[in-house]
Structure 1
Amino acid sequence: MNLPNRITLARICLIPVMMIFLLVDFQFYPEPIVWEGFILPYNQLIAALIFILAASTDGIDGYLARKHNMVTNLGKLLDPLADKLLVTAVLISLVEMGKVESWIVVVIISREFAVTGLRQIALLDGSVVAAGNSGKLKTVIQIVAIVALLINNFPFVFLGVPFDQLAIWAAALITIYSGAEYFVKNKHLLRGAGAS
């Protein structure tokens, strides 16, 4: 197994670790960070750092695979799977923690399933649905929103700006837009799939 695929597997392995910090109530955590009314439990801070580390490896594995000609079928399967697992796991955890509305998470996850299905149809057709700019922007906004939610809207909480909620709404909107864009640009695949 080459280095990019190992990095991708490491990202997948970080997911349960992150979820443990988010969802398991350990008694050994020190008192939360408290500052002028702002409260951030250490478990959320650790989970946020793990999420940032895992999310940052996404670009690294792809870059290394392309630069050193180490693109493999396993990597093509694992990389998008790792991204979807990471975002899905943390969003579902945030719903359980009461930090995000469940319908927003359903919208985001539904888009991922739909685009994955479209990519499967493209593969059967012998073509590839490449990631567009709106899809890349969607990923960035989702990551920013998730981090803001994990760290309890720091530092915007001191400005009275609900940045975390604005960011997750923006993530939902760009998710819908980018999903629709994928289907509009690739409607020929759907016509072909319906005919067979």
Structure 2
Amino acid sequence: MTSWLVARRHADGRPSAWNLANALTVLRVLLVPVMAVLLVMDDGEQGGWRLGAALAFAVAIATDKVDGEIARRHDLVTDFGKLVDPIADKALIGTALVLLSVLGELPWWITVVVLVRELGVTLLRFLVIRHGVIPASRGGKLKTVLQSVAIALYLVPRPDGVLGGLLPAVLDPLALVVMLVAVVVTVVTGVDYVLSAVRQHRARRPGGAGRAR
């Protein structure tokens, strides 16, 4: 990609915040209220609105993958992207979970557990960032994939009478199983992140492991 959206830079060589990767991140933020409105239309019962919500969610998730690849491949990592990208991700996932619970389709305890973990890790990340960044683990990436797949399964419309009711009979338990696995991975990776932060903090203390070496 050679358009100005990708190539534009400051005089000192730093990438401008106005680039394609950040534009996709902003698009993801804008898709959050779009998905929310479409999902609550007609209490989530009307297939057309529901399909629109599912498509908005799918596009938003796709931008999460694409913007990161563009930023890394074209050296377009900016402070704006570092700040807004995780906020956009959590806003998208959190909004979908809350609304699914409001509609009575997802147990509230699942939503609460996921939100507490995500908000807790975000706050912890801000607290430890001055001492260094804790890189995203494979488990963290798996957590995001599982959450996204589970939510997408919940968002897929289930029209009455389609395939003799086979669609809901398959999707409902599948969505719940994937969501439960996502919750387990979410909690485990959250605990792992906390332990990593504690180890990092201890290693930097006088007399800690980092000092001893």
Q: What TM-score range do you get, normalising by the shorter chain?
A: 0.7 to 0.9
TM-score (norm 1): 0.84
Q: From 161, 168, 178, give the equivalent of 1:167.
A: 178
SS, match of residue 25 in structure 1: helix
Q: From 163, 166, 187, give the equivalent of 1:176.
A: 187
> Quick one: structure 1 residues 11 and 191, their matched pair in 2 at CA, closer, same or farther if it must change by over 3 Å?
same
Higher RCO, Cα 8 Å, sep 6+: 1
Q: From 51, 59, 64, give the equivalent of 1:58.
A: 64
Question: Who is 2:25 aligned against?
Answer: 8
Runs of at least 5 residues in structure 2 that lack an aligned partner in the other structure: 1-17, 160-165, 207-213
Please tell me the residue identity of whatever aligns with 2:155. L
TM-fit CA distance, 1:189? 4.2
Structure-2 separation of matches of 1:9 and 1:160: 31
Structure-2 separation of matches of 1:151 and 1:160: 8
Structure-2 separation of matches of 1:192 and 1:168: 36
Please tell me the residue identity of whatever aligns with 1:12. V
Question: Who is 2:146 aligned against?
Answer: 141
TM-fit CA distance, 1:44? 1.2
Check the 8 A contact 1:156/1:162 in 2, yes or no: no
Percent identity of the aligned residues?
37
Please tell me the residue identity of whatever aligns with 2:134. V
**Aligned residue-pair number:** 183
Runs of at least 5 residues in structure 1 that lack an aligned partner in the other structure: 33-40
Q: From 100, 103, 106, give the equivalent of 1:97.
A: 103
TM-score (norm 2): 0.78
> Quick one: structure 1 residues 159 and 185, their matched pair in 2 at CA, closer, same or farther if it must change by over 3 Å?
same
TM-fit CA distance, 1:3? 1.0
Provide the alpha-carbon RMSD of the alignment: 2.6
Q: Does residue 130 in structure 1 map to residue 135 in structure 2?
A: yes
